[in-house]
């Protein structure tokens, strides 16, 4: 379905290409409109919770960052477009290895410094309102836990700016180029740092790599990162709880919820 949506919309918008090739399937389906240098991103979940304006903010931020970001497409209107209830955006097709941990850390610092002047509209990074909306969709025990966590957790008062919103290692390519701006938002820099080290804090994974990334990032407010980690985890767990709605499982969601419950 998503592949057909992407190809039909692209042709309606006047893009010439031979075929749509699915590159990946996660919270979005990524479709390369080959041989055009264009990748379509078709939502599988975001349209259930957010308005398309959230994606518009990410597109604007990516444009403003220039060489620090994989660019929205310049050969077709990047969107966001709404097709059969889904949101579709178009991006420049780019391949490459992911950055090393040290490069990811220094790239995040450069991202934050480059994004500090951005004053376009972005959604707030606070995950609690979306967790409550998601709870209404999933129901059951998970919904009750999401509601309880959203009501108990407090968002610390911290200086905010444009941030990536989902700054894990896979979202930064070698050369320090960031991709996947669907979670772009307005919030503290420490939110991105907490996102970057999330797997270490919650799962005990990649400690050496994440220490290297933190060292490369440089000075930061460690107390703020610690205070934001439960909120980052709530956001990830809430979206993970939607996986059954698209016929998939998110095996780490239960661990994230248990980690939050234990706190």
For the stretch 189-199, pLDDT in tens is 999 999 999 99
Closest CA to 99 of 252, 233, 212: 212
Strands, E assignment, the chain: 19-25, 28-34, 38-43, 81-83, 86-92, 161-163, 172-173, 177-178, 185-187
pLDDT attached to residue 71: 97
| Domain end residue (candidates: 92, 126, 148) | 92
As a whole number, the mean pLDDT across the chain is 96
pLDDT attached to residue 121: 95
Burial class (CB in 10 A: 0-12, 13-18, 19+), 251: exposed
| pLDDT tens-place string over residues 169-179 | 999 999 999 99
CA–CA separation, 60 vs 104, rounded Å? 22
- Is 12 found in the same domain as 36? yes
Mean pLDDT score, 88-97 = 96
- Is 134 found in the same domain as 85? no
| Domain end residue (candidates: 59, 92, 125) | 92
- Per-residue pLDDT band at 262 (split at 50, 70, 90): confident
CA–CA separation, 133 vs 49, rounded Å? 7
| pLDDT tens-place string over residues 25-53 | 989 999 999 999 999 999 999 999 999 99
CATH of the domain at 139: 3.90.1200.10
| pLDDT tens-place string over residues 176-234 | 999 999 999 999 999 999 999 999 999 999 999 999 999 999 999 999 999 999 999 99
Structure tokens at 236: 């990830």
Contact status, residue 136 vs residue 213, Cβ threshold 8 Å: no
Residue 139 falls in which region: left (phi positive, over 0), alpha (psi -120 to 50) or beta: left
How many whole angstroms from its chain centre is CA 111? 15
- Is 118 found in the same domain as 166? yes
Q: Which domain holds residue 164?
A: 101-262
How many residues does this entry show for the chain? Answer: 263
- Is 193 found in the same domain as 64? no
Mean pLDDT score, 86-92 = 98
């Amino acid at each position: 379905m998503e592949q057909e949506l992407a190809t039909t919309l692209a042709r309606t918008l006047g893009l010439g290409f031979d075929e749509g090739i699915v590159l990946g399937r996660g919270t979005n389906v990524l479709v390369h409109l080959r041989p055009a240098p264009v990748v379509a991103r078709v939502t599988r979940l975001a349209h259930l919770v957010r308005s398309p304006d959230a994606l518009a903010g990410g597109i604007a931020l990516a444009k403003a960052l220039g060489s620090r970001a994989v660019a929205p497409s310049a050969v077709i209107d990047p969107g966001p477009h709404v097709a059969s209830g889904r949101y579709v955006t178009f991006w420049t097709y780019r391949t490459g290895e992911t950055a090393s941990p040290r490069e990811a850390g220094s790239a995040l610092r450069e991202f934050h410094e480059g994004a500090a002047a951005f004053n376009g509209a972005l959604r707030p990074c606070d995950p609690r309102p979306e967790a409550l909306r998601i709870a209404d969709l999933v129901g059951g025990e998970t919904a009750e836990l999401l509601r309880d966590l959203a009501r108990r957790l407090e968002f610390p008062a911290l200086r905010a700016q444009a941030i990536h919103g989902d700054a894990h290692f896979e979202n930064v390519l070698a050369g320090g180029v960031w991709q996947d701006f669907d979670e772009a938002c307005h919030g503290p820099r420490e939110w991105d740092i907490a996102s970057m080290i999330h797997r270490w804090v919650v799962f005990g994974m990649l400690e050496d790599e994440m220490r290297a990334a933190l060292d490369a990032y440089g000075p930061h407010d460690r107390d703020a990162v610690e205070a934001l980690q439960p909120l980052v985890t709530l956001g990830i767990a809430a979206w993970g709880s939607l996986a059954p709605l698209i016929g998939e499982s998110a095996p780490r969601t239960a661990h994230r919820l248990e980690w939050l419950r234990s706190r």
